[in-house]
Amino acid sequence: MSQPPRRALVASPTTPAQTAAAELADAQDWVDVEDADLIVALGGDGFMLQTLHRMLERRKAPVPVFGMNLGTVGFLMNEWRRHGLEGRLEQARPFKVTPLQCTVTGSDGRIHSMPAINEVSLLRETRQTAKLEVIVNDRIVLPELACDGILVATPAGSTAYNFSAQGPILPLGSNLLALTPISPFRPRRWRGAILPDKARIAIRVLDSGKRPVSAVADQREIRDVAEVTICVDRARELTLMFDPEHALDDRITMEQFIA
């Protein structure tokens, strides 16, 4: 006889999420995250990102995450409902998410490696405009981009900061990345690029002493960077679980038609 799946319950520290967690505490025998076959996450999109990063740091292989929205937008979450959780988990559909891996070289020569599920952003640290050299697959495509910053977004993250910066929305499964400038000054007509997710992107900071730049991978920031390289990390695929009617891919598509 097969053993029933082991599930863990995690919740944002916010009052609504903690209240919901208390309501579900006796719904089944929850286990520790490290021992679980599936995670139920209560909170908003920010908490979902934290949970997915926790999966990347897990000693064992990542397991699927089923989120229920107790935050604001809840784009990556299902609707919160107290009852019928067991049936929802059995019928939930998986969506695969492949994170980015960025390697950051600081101005001090130190090297940092960080994953990102939504995007990697380079942002100016002072009122001085950032000046960046953009390289794709070892070819310099922009010798000098004067801007507030630039970001590389995955399809899952293309509706977040990338969309606010007027970047394109990418369908799930499109095998594409969005390379989007933030308030570009020169070249004036450059508004970004859509790249295959096999591309290797490098961004070098020009005149970093006078024009310091930070690198942010989702919620982790490294200041005073000299160079950042970004690529898709296919070895660490993540799985989100959704109610059949949720259809994350359809929601991403329909975001393009919301005024």
Choosing from 45, 218, 243, 250, which is the catalytic residue? 45
Rounded Cα gap, residues 148 and 181, in angstroms: 8
pLDDT tens by residue, the chain, 259 residues: 467 789 999 999 999 999 999 999 998 899 999 999 999 999 999 999 999 999 998 888 899 999 999 998 788 899 999 999 999 999 999 988 999 999 999 999 999 999 999 999 999 999 999 999 999 999 999 999 999 999 999 998 998 899 999 999 998 888 999 999 999 999 988 999 999 999 999 999 999 889 999 999 998 999 999 999 999 999 889 999 999 886 677 777 777 776 6
Q: How far apart are CA 95 and CA 240, in angstroms?
A: 5
List, in order of start, the domains of the chain with CATH numbers: 7-98+236-257 (3.40.50.10330), 100-232 (2.60.200.30)
Is 125 flagged in the annotation as binding?
no
Let me know if 173 is exposed, middle or buried by CB neighbors in 10 A (0-12, 13-18, 19+): exposed
- Catalytic: 45? yes
164 is in an annotated binding site: yes
Q: For residue 51, say whether it is annotated as part of any ligand binding site.
A: no
Kindly tell me the sign of the dihedral angle through the C-alpha atoms of 216, 219, 223, 227.
negative
8 A C-beta contact, residue 52 and residue 65 = yes
